Amino acid sequence: RRPMLGSEYEQVGIFLKTVAFAAAPTFLKEVLEYDGTNLAFQTAAPRGLQSGDRSTWLALFQNVSGFFLHPVGLEVLVDHSSLDVSQWAVSRVFYNGQYHRDMAELESTYVQGRLRVEKVQKVPWDGDFSSMKPRAAPAAMFPVQYEPQGPRYSVRRNRVVSQAWSFVFGMSVSRGLRLFDVRYRGERIAYEISVQEALSVYGSNCPGGMSTRYMDGSFGIGRFSSPLVRGVDCPYSATYVDMPHLAQSQASRIVQNALCVFEQNLGSPLRRHYSNLQSLYYGGLVNSALVVRSITALGNYDYVWDFIFYQNGAIEGKVQATGYIDDAIQATGYMSSSFLHGDGLRYGNRVWEHTLGTIHTHSINYKVDLDVGGVQNSLVAHDMAFETARAPWSPEQQMERPRLTRKVLDTEDQAAFRQQSKMPRYIYFAANGTNKWGHQRGYRIQLNSFAGEPMPESSSMERAISWARYKLAVTKRKEEEPTSTSVYNQNDPWTPTVAFADFIDNETIAKEDLVAWITTGFLHIPHSEDLPNTVTVGNSVGFLLRPYNYHDLDPSIYSRDGVFFTSEQDVTSCAVNPVACLPERAACLPRFPPFTYGGF
């Protein structure tokens, strides 16, 4: 069940070229025009069908830029379970909808003229339609943002401090970006907010695709953090942080610009009101937010991970998906698009001549360890129901009115909400203490998700990803339950090292130290506009943590960015309206540092 190391991938590649390919020289030369270098392979996972297996489907692609979109129709199943490489063997071969015992049988069938051949047109090295090179010349510069008086936050080592927020960040090799000791105006809101896992489940009529359930933590969400490009991946003037990691080596590796921190003007008001009744005034607050971001380049798929901190005390966890269609890792060899054949359109859309964009789901799991007014919290649900009542001033008439419903969820079973189940629209961690108005201080959990169907629980591997059953599950915090999954679950999901479903055992969670496990995600049915790349627009999911009676009033009213003026004031005066000073304070162009990139 161990994850594959780079050395094992290299050995598999050598076996494919020197042993497997050697058994079918005529087929490879005449059908695939193989010259020893023009084919690339990617691998499916998990590696087999039951515990103890270590057999991997290898799909072949044209070795060009964006090769993920250029399948050639050949897939090879290699049994590499033995620690003795000489014992490795080809277990099965698939080509253009037909299965063969091994490469020798494929060769024989082809030579005898009994093989259905579908020759794929060779593409140039730049990948042709898969190239990321812009099809238009540069023109007027795109808009940029900058701080007229410099950053209003500081980054010292791994601690970020702004006007209202402070937190410590880290990067797990397997799980990626994580935050600790998150405080708003000095008061702790969360002990930990972290990414746990990213799961993709595929459909296809090709063997590699149909058997693929990628658990990205096994490959390394943090390990594959991408060097960020200034001005594109993050604002040009953001603060960039190098991050070290130790994986598959005796020496650590530094990823340059692996993380960025910036304050962003979202271009809309956080709140505002214009009054032309009774009194004449305007009051508003620009919606500027503090953002910490990393981007994972898991082969052909890129995940943009954000944690966003708003001036009203809200926190947003967000992930955006982009990159080439389907979920893939180049260095470790994920599966990407499938070869279109037979009834392939049952499993996706045709996006090029021989390329099927296969249907798949993305599920993202987060750990949110909130400490609302201390570590002793309860989980409370508020919602609405309509009631029928007689109009007090006209009893012969009846009316329907919404009323507030309240319920304390005091066991783990009550606090576990399956993906397709109804969940209270307001659900929050409640403190022991109350605000000025006698309400329990709380932080509400609000989800943004359009997840696909979860894996059926009848599946033999479902327990390994049982966290994906739930859009929200709240459990009692335990040191022996630090993460929802394990890196060992990928290659042996049939006997999982960690089964999240076991965390939920109906323990009492009233007035306890609680953890929320949040699963958000989306269904991806690739389409022609996903070529050459999937865009982030519409492919963003996540959650919000929002104060709910935590304060006595909206704390953003104390922000120094507020604007207020009346009809009787001089709105062009800086003393009245700080926005009026902008032409003077932002009259000069910002001093941007020179562009550098060390990603290669």
Helices and strands (H and E) in the chain: how many: 6, 29
- Active site annotation includes 301: yes
CB-hemisphere CA count at 13 Å for 257? Answer: 21
List all residues 6 or more positions away from 228 whose beta carbon is below 8 Å from its beta carbon: 234, 240, 257, 258, 259, 260, 293, 294, 295
Cα angle value 58/352/116 (rounded, 5°):
60
Name the pairing type of β-strands 98-100 and 154-156. Answer: unpaired
Structure tokens at 516: 């929320």
CA neighbor of 162 nearest in space, from 239, 230, 235: 239
If you write DSSP's letter for every residue of 86-126 in order, what string do you get? GG-EEEEEEETTEEESSHHHHHHHHHTT-S---PPPP--TT
Residue 317 and residue 193: Cα distance in Å, rounded?
A: 9
* Catalytic member of 34, 301, 426, 488: 301
Asked if 177 contacts 307 with a C-beta cutoff of 8 angstroms, the reply is yes
Please tell me the total number of residues recorded for the chain in this structure: 600
Given the residues 128, 216, 306, 327, the one annotated as active site: 216
Reduced to 3 states (helix: H, G, I; strand: E, B; else coil), residue 161 is strand
Query: In the numeric block, which tokens belong to residue 172?
Result: 């797990």
| Catalytic annotation present for 327 | no
Q: Return the SS3 of 529.
A: helix
Strands 279-298 and 562-566 come out as antiparallel
CA distance 549 to 431: 10
The residues annotated as belonging to the active site are 216, 301
